[in-house]
C-alpha cells in the first residue's frame, strides 16, 4: 500500500495502462474527515467501498440463483 500525504487542493494522479487518468484531490479537511474529489472517465466506476460491496453481493446472489 502506498500512503501519501496531501494538503487541501493537492492532487494524486493515477495513470492507467491505456493512458486514461484518474485524479484525486483533497478538497477539504474538517475534524477527522477528508473530503475527496475524484475525476475519472465515465467508463470507470467510482464508489464508496460499502456501496461497491453491496453491489457485488447483489450480483453474486443473482448469479447463484
Helix residue spans in the chain (DSSP H): 49-64
Residue 3 within a domain: no
Name the residue among 39, 46, 37, 49 with its Cα closest to residue 6: 37
Residue 58 within a domain: yes
Cell numbers for 50, please give them. Answer: 460499502
How many domains does the structure of the chain reveal? 1
- Residue 41 is predicted with a pLDDT of 95
Residue 16 within a domain: yes
pLDDT category at 65 given cuts 50, 70, 90 is low
pLDDT category at 58 given cuts 50, 70, 90 is confident
- Residue 62 is predicted with a pLDDT of 74
Residue 54 within a domain: yes
Distance CA 14, CA 37 (A): 14
pLDDT digits (tens, 9 = 90+) for 24-39: 999 999 999 999 999 9
Cell numbers for 44, please give them. Answer: 470507470
Q: pTM for this structure?
A: 0.75
Residue 39 within a domain: yes
Question: What are 27's strand-pairing partners?
Answer: none
Amino acid at each position: 500500500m502506498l500512503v501519501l500525504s496531501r494538503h487541501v487542493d493537492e492532487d494524486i494522479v493515477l495513470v492507467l495502462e491505456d493512458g486514461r487518468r484518474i485524479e484525486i484531490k483533497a478538497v477539504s479537511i474538517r475534524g477527522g474527515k477528508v473530503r475527496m474529489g475524484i475525476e475519472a472517465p465515465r467508463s470507470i466506476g467510482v464508489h464508496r467501498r460499502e456501496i461497491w460491496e453491496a453491489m457485488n453481493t447483489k450480483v453474486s446472489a443473482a448469479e447463484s440463483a
